[in-house]
């Protein structure tokens, strides 16, 4: 009797304790556009989520939903998280912009963070990374590594972010190699391994010995490996399984510091709506290890370039730069404004071909 | 050995019992699957079937059932007419896309004019878009004898590519910083397919779905066209002798399916989805085929099947975030449900006999 | 703009590779449809074959084991479809769609541990003398075994349908199952065998994607290849030789548009991507004058009521 009683008390106490603990926990939700096993974009966001769990331990609870289609389904997924007590929700794809804002209006006490969008609200922040800084480093390495002077570029959709990346890489490749030219394929997908592999193969067959990609699968890496003497760079994720060749470096989206910082802000009640665009300096963009396949001097220059951007001494879009049609864009020493970069819809001088649509 | 014997008439009892049996078997198999994944099977099943209806946040999920179910029911009703008559339109996904594009085109062309006639005009345009897309396989079937299953399926891919071209090109939001996707129609009052009563999920698409169910029921039970449809499905030869004009039937069945699918697309783009995007279509057109069969091609059955399908979607989503079940497990679960529902159907139309073969 | 940078030999060689997965799947589906069964589950069987082949190849270290496993799993999955449609007499369209849904989910579930792994390499057969022939050597004689398997299968199925007794029986079942039944052919048994064959081929096609063409495993990696295979069968008007041509056309449009872009030629990608489907519809229309129409019993349920 006694034992039963004390057991019951213990159970009750335990139940209460966990209940109380659950109350204290900050609940952080993540909405992903792809599967966490995509090896690129969503995979890195999920690493950020795991970092939040590790950093805060028992003080947080994280929830996520993967492969959420954009549109009505996204709105329901976000609402569901808000209903179930999430304090902070990260929506990690551009297509979630309108659904995020719609849900945010209904849940004024929940904080929302939308990746890569441009609309905010009192409880909605936006965040994105200056991937073009990483592209500058890629262009720098690629321009010196290429022997055929043909660099292949697998682009996803003709949107400012992608165009910015092409321009940044091209400017820095040209700076070290005036002969270099870019071949660009618009794949019209963020993620389609077979198509990306075909695109990489087509570029390689047309003489490209460097492949840059702005799509998320590792298929181009595999295609380059198969072809032999071709180098690539990891995109979104390190893609280290293809190092040291063909993958000689990478741009890594490191969301962990930001996710931890914003979770902390919610915990301490200091969260405020903001629009941030972080780069190498803040650690949101990282350059993955430059492998031995790259000559030492090129490696050091690339690291110096990275450092100068980290220190804020150098901006990848510093004049003089002309547009593709020859008209002046930035004067000598002039630095591009964020607004122009965010809406970039033109190629810089020297790139051939047209941006579709 | 087992032997199937055709029932003279579909069993009434089994018509009702079979779906329930299938759901029970699926629950058992699903529980085994979830247990194998290391999750509490009872909690998982309860989450999927109970939470959306009676759980803590049912006030939010019940309206969502309508939002998710309405396009499925609307499309499936249209398809069921054709399926009954042996006309196989499996391209509803394409008709849905074209309806959405035509409806959105009207709104985007008139933006930012505010006028009460805009929305009705969009409904018409949506229906027309889907209708035209469905008329292609219909006309080709009548003129050239092509197979409508294949033509309508091919047109889905054409429509998908057309959608991408529109979202990236002519329909792109000029204020959208170069991102693909149109303006948000939910922020354009005259074009917004808003909830009729706030918090209920009732939008015009839900109303249209309910009207479609009623009309289809009346058509099939009271109207001579419904009789012709049923007769053609049962025996095309007999129908021809009875004076049924097959050509007219093909046009009517494919046309109404296309118009309803187009309207479903239009209601979606102007309401729950809000904008034309590259990935606007999420497979309602294909899922509706399954819904039509689960509902046994009967209007009321389709209504129930559409809601059941919506339930597994929404319950599955809850299970994902509450229990950490992978999205893939939910997909497998839905696949199993469909398999079992299709399998038990045999009991409705056939009797299983155990036959002992006599030695010769 | 630089058309000269496109090498015809390399273009044709990669066309052969791009065509192989859809060729294999379409050949399987061709046999299924010739038997009068429409299995819309090709996508589901392909992707399940892709992961199972991948997993077995990684675990065993042998691509061959992977391909065999993929074929076996594809067939096993198609057995589900066969049970539903041939024994439970369920509707084929709905069953096929359910199979696709099931396969997509199952593959994602099975594949969770295999993301980011590299498969063992499938060797390329560099045929000694033939491979050295300029142009033709690169286009035809320097591929892996599976490419040749696809070609051989196309030839074999063509011969079988046209000249063999088995082919005649298969066609009879597809054209008029009641007549075939009256003649004493086991309609259901023949159809089940055809469905199993179709499943095995789809599985092989999927494994070719994950083991050779891409080569890696990612969720949803077939991204519609199974549906293209279905289109291909129609395009080919149910003839094996035309399936081969069609696979090259469908694969070719995809490869060509990428090559044209790489050469700096501005093309409307979406409209070009539509073209194979529009061509297929056109083929259907022109075919209507021809006597080679769809198998008459396609998609119909057979029940031998005595």
On chain A, the residues whose CB falls within 8 A of the CB of B319 are none
Whether A17 shows a pLDDT value over 70: the answer reads no
pLDDT of residue A18: 41
Taking an 8 Å cut-off on Cβ atoms, the answer to whether C97 and B290 are in contact is yes
Whether A250 shows a pLDDT value over 80: the answer reads yes
Please give, rounded to a whole number of angstroms, the shortest distance from the CA of A209 to a CA of chain C.
Answer: 13
Per-residue pLDDT tens for C9-40? 888 888 888 899 999 999 999 999 999 999 99
pLDDT of residue C283: 78
CA nearest to B319 within chain A:
A65
pLDDT of residue C142: 76
Per-residue pLDDT tens for B215-237? 999 998 888 888 888 888 777 77
Average the pLDDT over each of A124-133, B70-79, B232-241, C247-256 and give the range with the smallest value. B232-241
Q: What global pTM score does this model have?
A: 0.87
Neighbours of chain A (3+ CB pairs under 8 A): B, C
pLDDT of residue C234: 82
Average the pLDDT over each of A16-30, A205-219, B157-171, C24-38 and give the range with the smallest value. A16-30
pLDDT of residue A216: 85
Q: How sure is the predictor about C3, in pLDDT bands with cuts at 50, 70 and 90?
A: low
Whether C64 shows a pLDDT value over 90: the answer reads yes
Q: Given C6, C108, C214, which is nearest A222 (Cβ)?
A: C214
pLDDT < 50: residue spans in chain B: 359-360
Whether C6 shows a pLDDT value over 80: the answer reads no
Q: Which residue has the higher pLDDT, C72 or A73?
A: C72
pLDDT of residue A272: 94
Per-residue pLDDT tens for A259-318? 999 999 999 999 999 999 999 999 999 999 999 999 999 999 999 999 999 999 999 999
Establish, for the pair of chains A and C, how many residue pairs have beta carbons separated by less than 8 Å.
102
C94 touches chain B (CB under 8 A): yes
Taking an 8 Å cut-off on Cβ atoms, the answer to whether A158 and B168 are in contact is yes
Going by C-alpha positions, the residue among C144, C186, C148 that lies closest to residue C169 is C186
pLDDT of residue C214: 84
Whether A1 shows a pLDDT value over 80: the answer reads no
SS3 for chain B is: CEEEEECCCCCHHHHHHHHHHHHHHHHHHHHHHHHHCCCCHHHHHHHHHCHHHHCCCHHHHHHHHHHHHHHHHHHHHHHHHHHHCCCCCCCHHHHHHHHHHHHHHHHHHHCCCCCCCHHHHHHHHHHHHHHHHHHHHHHHHHHHCCCHHHHHHHHHHHHHHHHHHHHHCCCCCCCCCCCCCCCCHHHCHHHCCCCCCCCCCCCHHHHHHHHHHHHHHHHHHHCHHHHHHHHHHHCHHHHHHCCCCHHHHHHHHHHHHHHHHHHHHHHHHHCCCCCCCCCCCCCHHHHHHHHHHHCCCCHHHHHHHHHHHHHHHHHHHHHHHHHCCCHHHHHHHHHHHHHHHHHHCHHHHEEEEECCCCCC
Q: How sure is the predictor about A2, in pLDDT bands with cuts at 50, 70 and 90?
A: very low
pLDDT of residue A6: 43
CA nearest to C94 within chain B:
B290
pLDDT of residue A145: 94
A343 touches chain B (CB under 8 A): yes
Per-residue pLDDT tens for C128-171? 777 777 777 777 777 888 999 999 999 999 999 999 999 999 99
Q: Which residue has the higher pLDDT, C265 or C46?
A: C46
Q: What is the mean pLDDT of chain A?
A: 88
Taking an 8 Å cut-off on Cβ atoms, the answer to whether C268 and B165 are in contact is yes
pLDDT of residue B296: 83
pLDDT of residue A123: 95
pLDDT of residue A9: 43
State the ipTM, two decimals. Answer: 0.85
pLDDT of residue A3: 43
């Amino acid at each position: 009797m006694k034992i039963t009683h004390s057991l019951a008390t213990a159970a009750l106490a335990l139940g209460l304790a966990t209940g109380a603990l659950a109350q204290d926990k900050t609940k952080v939700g993540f909405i992903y556009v792809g599967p966490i096993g995509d090896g690129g974009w969503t995979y890195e966001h999920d690493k950020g989520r795991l970092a939040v769990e590790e950093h805060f331990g028992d003080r947080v609870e994280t929830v996520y939903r993967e492969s959420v289609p954009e549109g009505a389904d996204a709105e329901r997924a976000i609402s569901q998280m808000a209903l179930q007590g999430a304090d902070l929700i990260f929506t990690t794809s551009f297509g979630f912009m309108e659904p995020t804002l719609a849900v945010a209006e209904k849940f004024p006490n929940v904080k929302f963070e939308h990746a890569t969008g441009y609309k905010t609200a009192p409880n909605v922040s936006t965040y994105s990374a200056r991937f073009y800084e990483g592209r500058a480093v890629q262009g720098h390495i690629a321009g010196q590594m290429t022997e055929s002077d043909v660099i292949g570029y697998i682009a996803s959709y003709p949107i400012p972010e992608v165009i910015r990346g092409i321009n940044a890489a091209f400017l820095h490749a040209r700076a070290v190699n005036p002969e270099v030219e870019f071949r660009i394929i618009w794949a019209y997908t963020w993620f389609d391994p077979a198509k990306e592999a075909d695109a990489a193969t087509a570029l390689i067959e047309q003489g490209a010995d460097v492949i840059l990609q702005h799509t998320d699968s590792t298929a181009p890496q595999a295609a380059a490996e198969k072809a032999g003497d071709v180098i690539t760079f990891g995109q979104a994720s390190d893609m280290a399984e293809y190092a040291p060749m063909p993958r000689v470096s990478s741009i890594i989206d490191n969301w962990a510091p930001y996710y931890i910082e914003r979770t902390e802000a919610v915990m301490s009640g200091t969260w405020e709506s903001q629009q941030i665009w972080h780069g190498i300096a803040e650690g949101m963009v990282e350059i993955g290890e430059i492998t031995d396949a790259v000559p030492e001097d090129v490696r050091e220059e690339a690291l110096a370039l990275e450092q100068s951007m980290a220190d804020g001494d150098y901006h990848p879009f510093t004049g003089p730069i002309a547009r593709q049609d020859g008209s002046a864009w930035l004067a000598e020493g002039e630095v591009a404004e964020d607004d122009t970069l965010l809406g970039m819809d033109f190629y810089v001088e020297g790139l051939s071909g047209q941006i579709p649509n | 050995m087992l032997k199937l014997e055709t029932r003279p008439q579909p069993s009434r009892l089994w018509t009702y019992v079979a779906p329930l049996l299938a759901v029970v078997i699926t629950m058992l198999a699903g529980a085994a699957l979830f247990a194998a994944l290391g999750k509490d099977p009872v909690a998982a099943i309860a989450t999927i079937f109970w939470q959306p209806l009676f759980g803590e946040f049912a006030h939010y999920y019940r309206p969502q059932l309508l939002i998710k179910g309405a396009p499925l029911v609307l499309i499936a009703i249209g398809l069921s007419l054709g399926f009954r008559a042996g006309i196989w339109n499996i391209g509803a996904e394409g008709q849905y896309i074209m309806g959405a594009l035509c409806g959105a085109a009207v709104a985007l062309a008139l933006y930012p004019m505010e006028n009460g006639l805009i929305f009705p005009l969009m409904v018409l345009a949506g229906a027309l878009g889907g209708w035209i897309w469905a008329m292609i396989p219909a006309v080709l079937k009548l003129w050239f004898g092509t197979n409508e299953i294949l033509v309508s399926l091919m047109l889905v891919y054409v429509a998908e590519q057309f959608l991408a071209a529109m979202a990236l090109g002519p329909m792109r939001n000029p204020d959208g910083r170069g991102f693909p996707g149109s303006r948000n129609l939910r922020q354009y009052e005259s074009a917004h397919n808003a909830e009729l009563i706030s918090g209920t999920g009732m939008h015009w698409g839900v109303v249209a779905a309910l009207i479609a169910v009623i009309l289809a029921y009346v058509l099939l039970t009271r109207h001579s066209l419904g009789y012709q449809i049923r007769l053609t499905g049962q025996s095309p030869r007999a129908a021809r002798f009875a004076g049924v004009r097959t050509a007219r039937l093909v046009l009517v069945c494919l046309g109404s399916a296309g118009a309803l699918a187009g309207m479903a697309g239009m209601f979606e783009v102007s309401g729950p989805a809000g904008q034309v995007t590259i990935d606007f279509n999420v497979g309602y057109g294909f899922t509706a085929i399954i819904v039509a069969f689960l509902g046994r091609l009967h209007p009321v059955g389709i209504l129930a099947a559409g809601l059941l399908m919506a339930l597994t979607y929404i319950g599955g989503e809850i299970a994902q975030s509450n229990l950490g079940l992978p999205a893939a497990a939910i997909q497998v679960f839905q696949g199993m449900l469909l398999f079992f529902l299709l399998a038990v159907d045999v009991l409705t139309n056939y009797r299983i006999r155990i036959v002992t073969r006599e030695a010769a | 703009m630089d058309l000269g940078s496109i090498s015809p030999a390399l273009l044709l060689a990669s066309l052969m590779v791009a065509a192989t997965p859809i060729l294999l799947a379409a050949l399987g589906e061709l046999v299924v449809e010739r038997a009068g069964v429409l299995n819309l589950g090709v996508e589901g069987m392909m992707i399940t074959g892709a992961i199972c082949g991948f997993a077995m190849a990684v675990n065993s270290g042998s691509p061959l084991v992977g391909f065999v496993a993929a074929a076996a799993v594809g067939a096993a999955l198609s057995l589900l479809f066969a049970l539903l449609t041939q024994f439970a007499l369920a509707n084929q369209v709905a069953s096929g769609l359910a199979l696709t849904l099931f396969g997509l989910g199952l593959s994602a579930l099975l594949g969770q541990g295999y993301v980011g792994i590299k498969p063992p390499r499938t060797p390329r057969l560099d045929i000694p003398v033939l491979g050295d022939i300029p142009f033709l050597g690169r286009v035809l004689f320097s591929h892996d075994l599976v490419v040749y398997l696809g070609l051989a299968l196309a030839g074999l199925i063509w011969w079988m349908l046209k000249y063999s007794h088995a082919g005649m029986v298969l066609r009879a079942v597809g054209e008029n199952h009641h007549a075939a039944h009256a003649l004493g052919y086991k309609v259901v048994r023949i159809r089940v065998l055809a469905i199993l064959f179709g499943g095995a081929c789809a599985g092989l096609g999927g494994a070719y994607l994950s083991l050779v063409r891409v080569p890696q495993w990612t969720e949803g990696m077939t991204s519609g290849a199974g549906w293209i295979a279905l289109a291909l069968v129609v395009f080919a008007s149910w003839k094996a030789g035309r399936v081969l041509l069609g696979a090259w056309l469908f694969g070719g449009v995809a490869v060509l548009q990428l090559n044209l872009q790489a050469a700096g030629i501005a093309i409307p990608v979406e409209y070009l991507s539509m073209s194979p489907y529009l061509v297929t519809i056109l083929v259907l229309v022109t075919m209507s004058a021809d006597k080679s129409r769809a198998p008459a019993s396609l998609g119909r349920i057979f029940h031998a009521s005595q």
